[in-house]
Structure 1
Amino acid sequence: MRSVFNFFLFTSLFIALCALLMIWQTNQLLHLDYPHCTFYLFVFFSTICSYNFHWYLTPGTYSSSERLQWGERHRTMMLVFCGIGLAGALFYFWQLREHWMALSGGAFLTFLYSAPKVPHKTFTWLRKIAIGKTLFLTAVWTYVTTLLPALVANLGFSWALLFFTVHRFLLIYAICILFDYRDLESDKKEGIRSLITYLDLKNLNRLYYLTLLLSAVAAGLLGPETTIPVIATLMAPVVITALLTRKAQHNPSDYLFYFVLDGLMALSALLHLLIYWAQA
């Protein structure tokens, strides 16, 4: 069972499904009308491609990380998944080609996150950009799961879109801060700068908790646009992330980070889906 779970988690199937849940929630909250299934499949294959590409470039030799050790043993598998993901992403990109500019923006942001790991001087300079790693990852997740569906659906500005985007961006940013804190030593070895390189723990915690607070405020501002139970689902991951902070700062477990914390990004969407099914 552990091998099956590791396969599901470390091939990035789990995080790809989280992305689909988050997009489903965006569709529901903003009442978006566009070819949902085609877009879901485009994002699913793109996520599989980008994450396996990222982890293939991440060295696992001499690391105690279970994920990196798993990747070191299954490098060929990661390349296969990357290839399958790329083929699927291109196929569904063609079906959504009228939105090529918006889709290309997501692809560019995704590449920026992994680019510093590419062993070529053209890209390694990105390692020196302050706080780039955190912002790139937060931006791409927010863009692909929130703004991109709205752009594909040709939705104009709305307060619901603004508040929901801010809520999701800040929640993901807070979670990324925990990842950066855990990865401090490995990032230093690779020459990759992140926010915590410049902030001590006290100021980092201030920024972290302020980010969570503002995420909760943005969720509350969605009150006139949706129901109280849905607002509660948005608040749930904010509260749980705050409660898990100390544990995350002292426990570098891959399962805590890549299953629990990554899963918190999609928790509100899962709870929202359960409410939707209960009302159906």
Structure 2
Amino acid sequence: MKSIFNFILFTSVFIALCALLMIWQANQLLGLQYPRQTFYLFVFFSTICSYNFHWYLTPGSYSSSERLQWVDRYRDLMLMLCGVGLAGALFYFWPLRSHWLVLSGGAILTFLYSAPKVPYKPFTWLRRIAVGKTLFLTAVWTYVTTLLPAFVANQGLSWPLVLFTLHRFLLIYAICILFDFRDVESDKKEGIRSLITYLDYRSLNRLYYITLLFSALSAVLLGPYTSVPVIGTLLVPVLVTGLLTKKAHRDPSDYLFYFGLDGLMALSALLHLMLVSLFP
């Protein structure tokens, strides 16, 4: 069972499923109508491609983490899954090709996150950009799971879209800050700079809690546009993230971060799905 769980988690199938849940939630909250199944499959394969590419480039010599040891053992599998993901993404991109411009935005943001790990110029200069790692990752997750579905559905700017995007961006950003705390030593050895390199512990902690606070506030401001139970589902992961802060600072467990904290990005979507299933 542990081997199966590791396979689902470390090949990024889990995080790809989280992305699909988050897109489903955006569809529900914003009332988006477009070829959903095709878009789901495009995002699923794109996520498999990008994450396996990222981990294929990540050296395992800087850490004794279980995930990096697993990647070292199955690095060829990472490359194969990257290829499978790329083929699937291209296949499902074709029916969506009329939206090539907005889809390209997601591809560029995704590549910028992994680009500093490519050991060739001009990619290595990205390692010197302050806060780049955190912002790129937050931006790509927010864009792909929130803004991109709205763009593909040709929905114009609205207050629900703005507030939901802000809520999701701030929650993901706070979670990324916890990853920065954990990865500071490995990032330094790889020459990758992040926010934690420039701010002291107290300042970064203050930014972290302010980010969570505004994520909760933007969720509450969605009140006029959705139901109270749905607002509750948005607030739960903000609360849980805050409660897990001290544990995340003490415990660098891959399972806590790549299952627990990554899963928090999709927790409100899962609760929303349960709510819809129980009370249609």
Q: Could you state the TM-score of these two structures normalised by the residue count of structure 2?
A: 0.99
Matches of 1:228 and 1:153, distance apart in 2: 26
Identity across the alignment (%): 77
Matches of 2:81 and 2:226, distance apart in 1: 38
Matches of 2:127 and 2:187, distance apart in 1: 9
Partner of 2:16: 16
Aligned residue runs from structure 1 range 1-280, under 5 A: 1-61=1-61, 63-280=63-280
Matches of 1:86 and 1:255, distance apart in 2: 27
Q: 74-83 vs 16-25, which deviates more?
A: 74-83
Letter in 2 for 1:131: V
Cα shift readout 1:95-146 (whole Å, capped 9, x = no counterpart): 1000000000000000000000001011000000000000000000000000
Say if 2:62 and 2:189, in contact at 8 Å, map to a contact too: no
Say if 2:138 and 2:173, in contact at 8 Å, map to a contact too: yes
* Deviation at residue 62 of structure 1 after TM alignment: 5.6
Gaps of 5+ in 2: none
The 3-state SS of whatever aligns with 1:183 is helix
Distance 1:103 1:9, change over 3 A: same
Letter in 2 for 1:33: Q
The 3-state SS of whatever aligns with 1:32 is coil
Say if 1:52 and 1:78, in contact at 8 Å, map to a contact too: yes
Cα shift readout 1:135-183 (whole Å, capped 9, x = no counterpart): 0000000000000000000000110000000000000000000000100
Cα shift readout 1:33-60 (whole Å, capped 9, x = no counterpart): 0000000000000000000000000001
Matches of 2:258 and 2:197, distance apart in 1: 22
Aligned residues: 280
Say if 2:62 and 2:186, in contact at 8 Å, map to a contact too: no
Letter in 1 for 2:59: P
Say if 1:22 and 1:145, in contact at 8 Å, map to a contact too: yes
Moved over 3 A (4+): none
Cα shift readout 1:52-99 (whole Å, capped 9, x = no counterpart): 000000001362110000000001111111011000000111110000
Say if 1:61 and 1:72, in contact at 8 Å, map to a contact too: no
The 3-state SS of whatever aligns with 1:208 is helix
Matches of 2:173 and 2:24, distance apart in 1: 20
Say if 1:49 and 1:82, in contact at 8 Å, map to a contact too: yes
The 3-state SS of whatever aligns with 1:156 is coil
Matches of 1:209 and 1:102, distance apart in 2: 32
The 3-state SS of whatever aligns with 1:60 is coil
Say if 1:29 and 1:226, in contact at 8 Å, map to a contact too: yes
Cα shift readout 1:218-257 (whole Å, capped 9, x = no counterpart): 0000000000000000000000000000000110000000
Gaps of 5+ in 1: none
Say if 1:60 and 1:71, in contact at 8 Å, map to a contact too: yes
Letter in 2 for 1:116: P
Matches of 2:61 and 2:81, distance apart in 1: 21
